[in-house]
Every structure is written in C-alpha cells, then in structure tokens.
Amino acid sequence: MPILYENYLQIFKLFFFKTRQKIVYLKFRHGPLLGTWAQHLHWKHNGLRVISEIWVRDEYTPAILQLSPPSTIVDVGAHVGTFTLFCIKNYPHAKVFAIEPETNNFKLLKNNVILNNSKNVQLFNIAISNAKKNLKLYLSDSTFAHSLIVKSEHSVKIRAITLDQLFDQNKIASCGLLKVDIEGAEYKLFQGLSDENLKKIKSLAMEYQNSGQKGFGNIQKIIKRLKTCGFKTLLKSSTTKEYGHLYAYHP
C-alpha cells in the first residue's frame, strides 16, 4: 500500500477499522485521485484487492494481450471508475466508454472523471445485455458485486442495451480493448454482440462467473466463438474453476 498510495496511513486505518465515513479518496502516487466507498476498504470487503487487480497485478491489461496504446477502450462494469482512471493514466489519448448501471456507483464514477479533468471519457448509466429492455439489478452488500444474474433480497430497475447498439450508436469502428466485469452477465453480453462487431475488437479482458451452473452460460462456448472469429485465447481459472479471467486477442 505505501508504494501505491500517497495517503497510505489513512487507508491502513480503514483496512483494519470500521468507519462511518462514506467516501474516501485514494491518492495514487503519480496518478489520479479515486473516490471510492470507504466501507469496502475494510478487510472484510476485499476492496483493496479489487483495486490491486487493476493497478498492481494488471489483470485486465496482461502482457499476453500485447496491447499497443489503444485508441478506443470499452469498460463494461466500470463501478466507480477504477479501471477507467487506470486507462486515463496509462492511455491518455484513448477514447474510453465507461458503462455502469447502478445509480450510486455511476454518480461516483462521474465525479471521479470530473475530478481528474478527463475529457476523453463518455459515461453510460446503463447495463449491457442481450436486448434493449428494462431489467432488475440485484443489489449486493458489496457495491462491486451487484448482478443481473445472482439474485438477492433487494433490487432496482435499470435500462439495458446490447453491445451492438453501443457500438452502432457511438460509431465505434474499432475497439482496442474491451474490459468486462459484470458478475455473471457476460454470457448475455455475447448474445447481444454480432460477429461483425466482435471482429472490431482487438483485445478482450473479461472476468467470468460460475461457468456452467444453472442460470449462467458456459465459458467454453464463448471461447469457441472467439476462436471462430480469429482470436487467440487464454483462460485463467480459480482453483474451483467457477470463476476467473478470459483473455482474447488477434495475433
């Protein structure tokens, strides 16, 4: 933590002790200012792990993707903007499309983009699914785990469009990197993505959930389709093989 954050002492306290503070601002060394939910920095919520996946372990920008500076990035499941700000820092000339359906997360995402004076980011308060429709977003105690698939006691109604519609409406002719973290809805995302638009994507970094379980899709079917469209793929699964990351790129 001391290496990554300027205000590491504050973050150290939040990691071990609960707080009534709602929002905390992480001051990255030589990087942006990220507002995030203070409660999720506590060790019980794994919030710092989620941030380190992006800023330390490069789990969405691994070397295998052979990323040249992408001109267009699509961040599906942007949460409060952790990956969006990573892109702003590391790919300052890229156009970033950041998609987040949950209202409170979206407000903080928008604030983070404004706070960092980011001009090349376009924000969408919607979900990505297999059709244009209204859906239930099931709310989790962890704000980065809200899901269209995993049911919970509380839910809110949200709007959804397809990735095809996002590409067509915004005239996305080429996507250097598609990042996906949408808690099990990734299978629906691919149902709303034509081969024509899939072939516009140069690299994919996606977290997947519960492959093959009831209510979810099968990651192997996505891999088969990607290979049919000319992608090379790499699957990094958890020990239980229920979740992990899928990477795909054009050689």
Looking at the fold, whether 48 and 36 belong to one and the same domain comes out as yes
Please count the other Cβ atoms lying within 10 Å of the Cβ belonging to residue 49. Answer: 11
Report the domain count for the chain.
2
pLDDT by position in tens, the chain (length 251): 446 888 888 888 888 888 888 999 999 888 899 999 998 888 878 788 889 999 999 999 999 898 889 999 999 999 999 999 999 999 999 999 999 999 999 999 999 999 999 999 999 999 999 999 999 999 998 898 999 998 999 999 999 999 999 999 999 999 999 999 999 999 999 999 999 999 999 999 999 987 666 667 789 999 999 999 999 999 998 766 678 999 999 98
Same domain, 40 and 126: no
Q: Which residue range is the domain that position 211 belongs to?
A: 60-249
Which residue carries 């700000």 as its tokens? 85
Q: State phi, psi for 105 to the nearest 5 degrees.
A: -60, -40
**Could you tell me the pTM of the whole model?**
0.93
Verify that 50 and 69 share a domain, yes or no: no
Helix, strand, coil content of the chain in percent (nearest 5)? 30, 25, 40
How far is Cα 5 from Cα 33, in angstroms, rounded to an integer?
10
* β 155-161/133-138 pair status: antiparallel
